[in-house]
């Protein structure tokens, strides 16, 4: 009698492996065929006939086998995933319960991981916006290219981005690789309104097709159309930046059609740019104007057809079929033909055009200094993460050692090693998850501070947290889980059942201790690297900040008034400056006021002829000499000391006087071996001799470092000055400049109802942008260095505290045999010092090797400064001592009798 078969019973007992699935499918098919065969045999068919008919009725066995195999494998996979999920949830639940019983461990590890993850998320956000992300709202950014011009001078390649407007006209007419080409200027401060209510607005001039080329859509109204930018005189229309629209018009849609006054000229508002759009240079822009509507006033007559106005920066959109290389080659031929035809000086030009990314920080010369600093800090944040993960791994290893009996019992009961690894990783995963949540909170609170305080000139996107940052944070959290969990998991897998079941507290193998001390060594070494980096960048920043530039930057204000642009005539301008000086002198806290013509520090610059009879013309680095006409007391006002001779007198200021003061660079160039005082020199358009009456310290002109310029000073009455108008007022204050600036501006704004916005800025603010790379590097290196130091100290403390707890029996025996408390303290100190000293040596070597890449960020500071390396070693050593004090004191409190009985 045949076995009774219940249909589907084997399908209910599915196996998970592929071979088992195949076997089950074959048995099921056989079962169906055999069952049908028996049914047909009961109907009177022979066994052979019944079998053949059953197979025929069943159909394509191979196709059925494939379909059933696919169904079973899918169900088996689903079951495996469900089982793994349930196991994972069980492990997480167990890890949560277990960690909740150790709140101190939970808090320390979560906080440590959150700091490491947040540091990476913050720096990724900076790098992403500076280097990776194209400007907001630009359509097809990969097709939009910036045009740079490459020249070779003295064997060195030089790149520039500014050119004259006729180059744009030539490229438009003679190139086919671009679907469109547009020009724009750097954003500049314009006076918004006049009189007491005047304000400053950041304005950018663009060609009429600029927005169309970028593919940006307006938030309100329209963008420029071709009729708005008819060269040479376009329509007086304006497009507002979104933030400016919100600030000035409270987001009122009725702003369209209203007028604003810029530089004394009225413009009609026709559109509003979208939120977070700040052009393509990531600099705040309040208003965009057609270049032809303002170029005569801002650039001067002839801006569109001469080679005298170098302002135009050109972008182009490639046609879909064009390659950047082919477009650059075509543009280069056009450019060379243009310049050779345009100007005899360029007839042998070998200049070429280079196409570069629309991202402003990525240029043909490489990335900008701020971006290089950001990349460095991205690497530093990775080091912080490694230190944090090493710290957490150390704590979890200690926890795994405490649980070795539990692990041994589980293994004795048959738990697989894979399940054991998942169970041990669950704690690391839970900690990484909690750390990433805390990191996002830290990121939201700290990232804007980093962006706005350390890089205030960058226009950041409105969104603080997006999918890119969230995805990166998630990836870092997974990496942290792996880094922090792999060592404890390996430690748990290495547990032997027999040893674990009978292990006592003092039976921690030396190899396990070596792993923990190796992690401490790694933390110490990485901390040394960060401390050295912090020391070098802070030292470099101090050198830059304290550099003598001839101006007391914290006490001197520069005042500029664009009077000529607003139609003021010479007598009016002279009168405004005269009255302005009188009013400003009366302000409490103002100690000196002076006026400069031609050349103003960190402002305008003018060069003219300067010669010394009997001395050949000198080729001075940086060009020049530059010339400046200043009132008496100018050098006292800015804080530039005279190193020889005297200052101008009030009489020399008012009456025609042929006297000069030269700076040290001019003195060295023309009188290298003699004093220039009393010597003859010819200045400007004057053909008669002028007498040098003084030598002054070199004064900052353009750049804070490596940019000393030769400057010759004359009184305003000197015949060589010509009809130069005042360019700026210099005000020296005794109090806080922030409180005096509004008073100075208010006094000057009141001088005329038509007065443009008066710009008053301290020199500390004027040079702040140049200090940003050093300040960013120093601040973040120091911050990350302190974080790393604290984490490393906590790690060392945890190791030593655990070591003391595990050696209580040994310490008790030693003390019972006569060891003194000092001997026990030395034992603990020796144990901690081994890892720290080894870490100091290894970290010092790594820092020496890595320091060569930091050279570009340093100023007058050696990347191998022994003071910095010694200081880093001292700081880490002191932190190690502090971290070892509590465990060392705890070790001396061990009662020998209790310790021995406890074992």
Is the pLDDT score of 233 beyond 70?
yes
Pairing mode, strands 690-696 and 659-663 = parallel
Sign (positive or negative) of CA dihedral 156, 157, 161, 165: positive
pLDDT in tens, 618-659: 878 777 788 999 999 899 999 999 999 999 999 888 888 889
Q: What is the per-residue pLDDT for 456?
A: 75
Beta carbons within 10 angstroms of residue 765's beta carbon: 14
pLDDT in tens, 25-70: 777 777 877 787 888 788 777 778 778 777 787 777 777 777 777 7
Phi, psi dihedrals of residue 755, rounded to the nearest 5°: -65, 130
Is the pLDDT score of 511 beyond 70?
no
Q: What residue has token string 């329509």?
A: 235
CB 424 within 8 A of CB 489: yes
Nearest to 666 by CA among 654, 678, 681, 655: 681
Q: What is the per-residue pLDDT for 816?
A: 65
The percentage of the chain sitting over the pLDDT mark of 90, rounded to a whole number, equals 23
Q: Using CA atoms, how far apart are residues 583 and 578, in angstroms rounded to an integer?
A: 9
Phi, psi dihedrals of residue 399, rounded to the nearest 5°: -65, -40
Phi, psi dihedrals of residue 713, rounded to the nearest 5°: -110, 140
Q: What is the mean pLDDT of the chain?
A: 81
Q: What is the per-residue pLDDT for 273?
A: 93
**Which residues neighbour 148 within 8 Å (Cβ) at sequence distance 6 or greater?**
159, 160, 161, 353, 354, 355, 356, 363, 364
Crossing angle (nearest 10°) for helices 103-127 and 417-449: 60
Assign 11 to helix, strand or coil. helix
280: DSSP letter: B
Query: Across residues 224-230, what is the average pLDDT?
Result: 87
Is the pLDDT score of 13 beyond 60?
no
Nearest to 537 by CA among 780, 716, 741, 892: 780
Pairing mode, strands 156-160 and 690-696 = unpaired
Pairing mode, strands 352-356 and 156-160 = unpaired
- 78-87, 490-499, 788-797: segment of lowest average pLDDT: 490-499
DSSP for 303-319 reads: TTTSSS---EEEEEEE-
Calculate the CA dihedral of residues 862, 868, 872, 873 and round it to 10 degrees: 100
CB 194 within 8 A of CB 755: yes
Query: Across residues 344-354, what is the average pLDDT?
Result: 68
Q: Using CA atoms, how far apart are residues 225 and 218, in angstroms rounded to an integer?
A: 13
pLDDT band at 506 (very low <50, low <70, confident <90, very high): very low
Q: Using CA atoms, how far apart are residues 494 and 496, in angstroms rounded to an integer?
A: 6
Q: Using CA atoms, how far apart are residues 252 and 366, in angstroms rounded to an integer?
A: 43
User: Please, is 226 exposed, middle or buried when counting C-beta atoms within 10 Å of its C-beta (0-12, 13-18, 19+)?
Assistant: exposed
Choice between 672 and 132, residue whose per-residue pLDDT is larger: 672
DSSP for 170-209 reads: HHHHH-SSEEEEEEE---EEEEES-GGG-EEEEEEEE-TT
pLDDT in tens, 606-620: 888 888 888 888 878
Q: Using CA atoms, how far apart are residues 102 and 95, in angstroms rounded to an integer?
A: 11
- 6-10, 374-378, 428-432: segment of lowest average pLDDT: 6-10
CB 394 within 8 A of CB 799: yes
H helix or E strand, kind and range, residue 235: none
Nearest to 546 by CA among 760, 368, 734, 774: 774
Angle, CA 172 vertex, CA 153 and CA 309 arms, to 5° = 50
H helix or E strand, kind and range, residue 642: strand 642-645
H helix or E strand, kind and range, residue 319: none
Q: Using CA atoms, how far apart are residues 429 and 318, in angstroms rounded to an integer?
A: 47
Is the pLDDT score of 4 beyond 60?
no
Q: Using CA atoms, how far apart are residues 629 and 609, in angstroms rounded to an integer?
A: 14
Phi, psi dihedrals of residue 161, rounded to the nearest 5°: -120, -10
346: DSSP letter: G
CB 716 within 8 A of CB 629: yes
Nearest to 886 by CA among 825, 813, 838, 837: 825
Q: What is the per-residue pLDDT for 152?
A: 64
> Which tokens sit at 680?
């003859």
- 136-150, 355-369, 470-484: segment of lowest average pLDDT: 355-369
Phi, psi dihedrals of residue 182, rounded to the nearest 5°: -145, 160
Q: Using CA atoms, how far apart are residues 196 and 192, in angstroms rounded to an integer?
A: 11
Angle, CA 844 vertex, CA 838 and CA 845 arms, to 5° = 95
Sign (positive or negative) of CA dihedral 702, 708, 711, 716: positive
CB 661 within 8 A of CB 692: yes
> Which tokens sit at 604?
């305008």
Distances (CA, A) of 385 to 399, 520, 854: 21, 14, 20
Q: What is the per-residue pLDDT for 187?
A: 87
Q: Using CA atoms, how far apart are residues 522 and 500, in angstroms rounded to an integer?
A: 28
> Which tokens sit at 248?
């000035």
Q: What is the per-residue pLDDT for 413?
A: 64
566: DSSP letter: G
CB 839 within 8 A of CB 524: yes
Distances (CA, A) of 642 to 1, 550, 553, 633, 710: 124, 10, 17, 11, 15
Phi, psi dihedrals of residue 714, rounded to the nearest 5°: -135, 160
Range 456-461 contact pairs with CB under 8 angstroms and sequence separation of 24 or more: 456/772, 457/283, 457/769, 457/772, 458/129, 458/130, 458/282, 458/283, 458/370, 459/278, 459/282, 459/283, 459/284, 459/285, 460/129, 460/282, 461/129, 461/133, 461/136, 461/276
Sign (positive or negative) of CA dihedral 818, 819, 822, 823: positive
Query: Across residues 569-578, what is the average pLDDT?
Result: 92
Sign (positive or negative) of CA dihedral 828, 829, 833, 834: negative
Assign 645 to helix, strand or coil. strand
Pairing mode, strands 162-163 and 312-318 = antiparallel
Q: Using CA atoms, how far apart are residues 777 and 783, in angstroms rounded to an integer?
A: 10
CB 469 within 8 A of CB 124: yes
Cis peptide before 49 (omega within 30 of 0): no
> Which tokens sit at 432?
């990484």
**Which residues neighbour 96 within 8 Å (Cβ) at sequence distance 6 or greater?**
430
**Which residues neighbour 658 within 8 Å (Cβ) at sequence distance 6 or greater?**
683, 686, 688, 689, 690, 691, 718, 719
Q: What is the per-residue pLDDT for 61?
A: 73
Calculate the CA dihedral of residues 647, 649, 653, 657 and round it to 10 degrees: -80
Q: What is the per-residue pLDDT for 510?
A: 42
Assign 681 to helix, strand or coil. strand
Phi, psi dihedrals of residue 465, rounded to the nearest 5°: -125, 115
- Partners of residue 171 on adjacent β-strands: none
pLDDT in tens, 659-716: 999 999 999 989 988 899 999 998 888 888 999 999 999 888 888 877 788 899 999 9
641: DSSP letter: P
Q: Using CA atoms, how far apart are residues 315 and 207, in angstroms rounded to an integer?
A: 11
Is the pLDDT score of 592 beyond 90?
yes
In total, the chain counts a number of residues equal to 903
């Amino acid at each position: 009698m045949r076995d009774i078969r219940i249909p589907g019973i084997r399908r209910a007992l599915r196996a998970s492996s592929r071979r088992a699935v195949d076997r089950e499918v074959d048995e099921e098919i056989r079962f169906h065929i055999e069952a049908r065969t028996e049914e047909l045999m009961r109907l009177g068919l022979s066994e052979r006939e019944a079998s053949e008919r059953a197979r025929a009725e069943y159909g394509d066995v191979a196709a059925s086998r494939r379909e059933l195999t696919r169904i079973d494998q899918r169900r088996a996979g689903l079951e495996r995933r469900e089982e793994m999920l349930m196991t994972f949830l069980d492990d997480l639940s167990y890890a949560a319960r277990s960690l909740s019983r150790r709140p101190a461990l939970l808090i320390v590890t979560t906080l440590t991981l959150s700091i490491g993850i947040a540091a990476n998320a913050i720096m990724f956000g900076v790098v992403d916006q500076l280097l990776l992300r194209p400007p907001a709202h630009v359509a097809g950014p990969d097709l939009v290219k910036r045009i740079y011009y490459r020249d070779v001078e003295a064997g060195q390649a030089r790149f520039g981005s500014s050119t004259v407007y006729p180059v744009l006209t030539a490229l438009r007419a003679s190139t086919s690789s671009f679907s469109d080409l547009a020009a724009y200027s750097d954003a500049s401060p314009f006076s918004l309104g006049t009189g007491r209510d005047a304000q400053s607005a950041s304005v950018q001039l663009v060609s009429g097709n600029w927005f169309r080329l970028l593919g940006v859509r307006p938030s309100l109204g329209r963008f420029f159309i071709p009729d708005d930018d008819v060269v040479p005189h376009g329509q007086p229309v304006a497009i507002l930046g979104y933030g400016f629209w919100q600030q000035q018009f409270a987001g009122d849609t009725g702003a369209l059609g209203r007028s604003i006054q810029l530089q004394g000229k009225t413009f009609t508002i026709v559109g509003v740019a979208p939120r977070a759009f700040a052009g393509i240079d990531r600099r705040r822009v309040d208003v965009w104007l057609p270049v032809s509507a303002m170029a005569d006033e801002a650039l001067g007559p002839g801006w569109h057809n001469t080679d005298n106005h170098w302002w135009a920066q050109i972008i182009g959109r490639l046609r879909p079929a064009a390659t950047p290389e082919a477009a650059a080659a075509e543009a280069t031929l056009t450019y060379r033909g243009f310049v050779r035809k345009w100007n005899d000086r360029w007839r042998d030009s070998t200049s070429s055009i280079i196409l570069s990314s629309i991202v402003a920080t990525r240029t043909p010369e490489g990335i900008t200094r701020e971006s290089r600093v950001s990349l460095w800090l991205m690497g530093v944040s990775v080091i912080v993460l490694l230190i944090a993960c090493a710290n957490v791994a150390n704590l979890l290893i200690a926890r795994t050692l405490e649980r070795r009996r539990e692990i041994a019992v589980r293994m004795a009961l048959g738990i697989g090693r894979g399940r054991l690894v998942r169970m041990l990783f669950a704690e690391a995963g839970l900690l990484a998850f909690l750390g990433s949540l805390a990191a996002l909170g830290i990121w939201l609170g700290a990232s804007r501070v980093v962006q706005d305080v350390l890089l205030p000139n960058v226009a950041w996107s409105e969104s603080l947290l997006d999918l890119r940052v969230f995805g990166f944070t998630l990836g870092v959290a997974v990496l942290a889980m792996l880094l922090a969990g792999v060592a404890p998991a390996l430690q748990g897998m290495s547990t032997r059942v027999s040893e674990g079941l009978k292990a006592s507290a003092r039976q921690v193998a030396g190899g396990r201790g070596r792993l923990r001390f190796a992690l401490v060594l790694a933390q110490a070494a990485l901390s040394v690297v960060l401390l050295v980096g912090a020391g070098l960048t802070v030292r470099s920043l101090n050198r830059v900040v304290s550099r003598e530039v001839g101006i007391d930057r914290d006490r001197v204000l520069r005042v500029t008034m664009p009077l000529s642009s607003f139609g003021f005539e010479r007598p009016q301008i002279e009168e405004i400056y005269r009255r302005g000086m009188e009013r400003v002198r009366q302000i409490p806290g103002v100690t000196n006021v002076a006026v400069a013509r031609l050349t103003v520090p960190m402002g305008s610059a003018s060069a003219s002829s300067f010669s010394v009879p009997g001395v050949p013309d000198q080729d001075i680095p940086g060009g020049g000499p530059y010339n400046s006409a200043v009132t008496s007391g100018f050098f006292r006002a800015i804080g530039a000391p005279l190193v020889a001779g005297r200052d101008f007198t009030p009489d020399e200021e008012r009456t025609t006087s042929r006297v000069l003061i030269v700076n040290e660079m001019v003195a060295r160039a023309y009188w290298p071996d003699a004093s220039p005082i009393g010597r003859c020199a010819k200045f400007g358009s004057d053909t008669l001799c002028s007498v040098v009456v003084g030598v002054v310290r070199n004064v900052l002109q353009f750049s804070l470092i490596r940019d000393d310029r030769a400057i010759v000073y004359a009184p305003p009455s000197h015949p060589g000055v010509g009809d130069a108008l005042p360019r700026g007022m210099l005000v020296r204050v005794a109090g806080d400049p922030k409180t005096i600036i509004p008073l100075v501006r208010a006094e000057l704004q009141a001088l005329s109802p038509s007065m443009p916005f008066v710009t008053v800025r301290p020199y500390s603010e004027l040079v702040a942008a140049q200090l940003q790379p050093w300040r960013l590097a120093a601040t973040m290196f120091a911050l990350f260095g302190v974080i790393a130091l604290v984490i490393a100290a906590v790690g060392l403390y945890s190791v030593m505290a655990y070591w003391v707890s595990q050696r209580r029996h040994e310490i008790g025996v030693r003390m019972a045999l006569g060891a003194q408390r000092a001997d026990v303290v030395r034992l603990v100190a020796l144990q901690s010092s081994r890892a720290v000293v080894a870490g100091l040596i290894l970290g010092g070597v790594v820092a020496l090797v890595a320091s060569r890449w930091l050279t570009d960020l340093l100023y007058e500071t050696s990347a191998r400064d022994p003071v910095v390396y010694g200081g880093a070693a001292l700081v880490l050593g002191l932190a190690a001592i502090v971290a070892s004090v509590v465990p060392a004191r705890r070790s001396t409190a061990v009662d020998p009798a209790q310790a021995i009985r406890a074992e």
